[in-house]
Structure 1
Amino acid sequence: MKVEDLEGGGAPLLGEPLPIELANATYAVRGRLVDGLQTVEHVAAWFRDNRHRFAVPLTDEDLARTGERDLAEVRALRDAVRTLTGVAVRGGDAPREAVETINEQVRAAPRWRELSWNEAPRALPRAALNPLVTARAEIAQLAVDLFGGSAIADLRACHAPGCVLYFLKDHPRREWCSAGCGNRARAARHYERNRKTS
């Protein structure tokens, strides 16, 4: 598998916190849900496209070793985060299975920093296990921090027509996951107003 040639599953990358970015790998196209992580290649491409955001570096060799187990684990983590985000946004009780899925993946990979001194000193993150497992554990840890911290109050579901994505409300006036959804929502309101007056 050549990592640079991988095509992703089309999941939008909006710059949300990693757990929400992963949850949004289930998205809608023309009102139909789409799974952006259907294959091993989709998973490797998603991590490739987000690798600059992880503490432990993910090399092309790490991503080329992505397998069926990684696919299953990433999809389970995505589904758990998506479920808990829905609970956080809409209210209700958190399913025990979703919480346990996140906790299992948090426990997966210890990491540390090592000192490197090539020209200048710097700390390099390292992990005992496969870097992809470490990256999943990092997303799970961020999910624990998100759902267990004050940012949970800022989680929102996008209310644009046909959108199923989540976002963290980082500005008082933000109401949509992206500018595109905001434009679609305004256009739909405009259309509805004009239709009623015609």
Structure 2
Amino acid sequence: MTTDSTTSAVLLGEPLPIELMNTVSIARGQTQDALDTDAGAASWLNAVAHRFQTEGAIHLEPLDADQARPTAAHLRELRSALRHLATEATGDPRPAATAPTLTRGEAVAAVNNRSQAWPQLSWPGDTGPTRTYHGPGTVQDLAVQFIAHQAVELFTGPDHERLRPCLAPNCLLFFVKNHPRREWCSPVCGNRVRVARHYRRHHTPEGRS
């Protein structure tokens, strides 16, 4: 679990669709939205730019708020759709943090409308074959399309069964359960749960179990 100095979002090293879902979190008891401004959207894109490069050969130049403005609304729309679908897929009992009135059909349509990126084989010189992604519009558009493309793979692939909501107190994040013993999104939440359990054990009123 890391918090990049350029963004207020928690970065867990999860697939990019989950990292986008996790731009809504709780800090000091208050819901925090790392994409609530164009500057916040630019900061998040800058923080995960290396992921676009390594996973899709998408070279996203550093952005400022003005440059990110056309993309920010698309990121928020896609995030709401992904969180809705993740809630349905996992039976997440937590209150909705974004777009509580979104229907499954609307969420699916939002993902499909953005998942226009497609992979192509690239084999330059002696470097070996690589997969590069392409799509209509700007490089920023392609970045959003790439997240949506990965979301289709997430919800239809093996990670669908391993997707989990973190049910630690005051957590809104999702994660992929990549180890049988993993129960929380991060060690921080694991510690929070242990502290809460310890408190309950030692502060149960006398005569109650």
**Normalising by the residue count of structure 1, what TM-score does the alignment of the two structures yield?**
0.84
Give the Å deviation of 1:49: 1.3
Partner of 1:138: 146
Corresponding residue number in structure 2 for 1:85:
86
**1:148-184 deviation line (CA, Å, top 9, x unaligned):** 2232111111111111111110111111000000001
Indicate conservation of the 8 Å contact 1:165/1:177, yes or no: yes
- For the 8 Å contact 2:163–2:177, the answer to whether it is kept is yes
Structure 1 residue 123 displacement after superposition: 5.4
Distance 1:57 1:148 in 2: 23
SS of equivalent residue, structure 2 residue 11: coil
- The aligned counterpart of 2:187 is 179
Note if 1:38 corresponds to 2:46.
no
**Which has the higher mean CA deviation after the structures are superposed, 138-147 or 64-73?**
64-73
Q: Is 1:154 the counterpart of 2:162 in the alignment?
A: yes
Letter in 2 for 1:105: R
Q: Secondary structure at the match of 1:187?
A: helix
Q: How does 1:85-124 map to 2 (within 5 A)?
A: 85-90=86-91, 95-107=104-116, 109-110=117-118, 112-117=120-125, 120-122=126-128
Pair 1:73–1:145, CA change in 2 (3 A): same
Q: Number of aligned pairs?
A: 188
Q: Is the 8 A contact 1:58 1:131 kept in 2?
A: yes
Asked which structure has the greater RCO (Cα within 8 Å, sep 6+), the reply is 1
**Counterpart for residue 50 of structure 1:** 48
Q: Structure 2 residue aligned with 1:188, among 196, 200, 206?
A: 196
Does structure 1 retain, via aligned residues, the 8 Å contact 2:165–2:175? yes
Q: Deviations over 1:133-161 (max 9, x none)?
A: 11111110111111122321111111111
The alpha carbon displacement at 1:30 in A equals 3.0
Higher helix content, 1 or 2: 1
Q: Is the 8 A contact 1:56 1:127 kept in 2?
A: no
Aligned-residue identity in percent: 38
**Unaligned 5+ runs, structure 2:** 94-101
Q: Distance in 1 between matches of 2:17 and 2:42?
A: 16
TM-score (structure 2 length as normaliser): 0.79
Give me the whole-angstrom Cα distance separating, in 2, the residues matched to 1:67 and 1:197: 53
Structure 2 distance, partners of 1:170, 1:130, is 34
User: In structure 1, what is the equivalent of residue 74 of structure 2?
Assistant: 73
- Whether contact under 8 Å (1:89, 1:157) holds in the other structure is yes
CA contact (8 A) 1:56 1:134 kept: no
Q: Give the CA RMSD over aligned residues.
A: 2.5
3-state DSSP of counterpart to 1:196? coil
1:104-147 superposed Cα distances (whole Å, 9 cap, x missing partner): 0002x455354544xx4455736353111111111101111111
- The correspondence for 1:127, drawn from 102, 118, 134, is 134
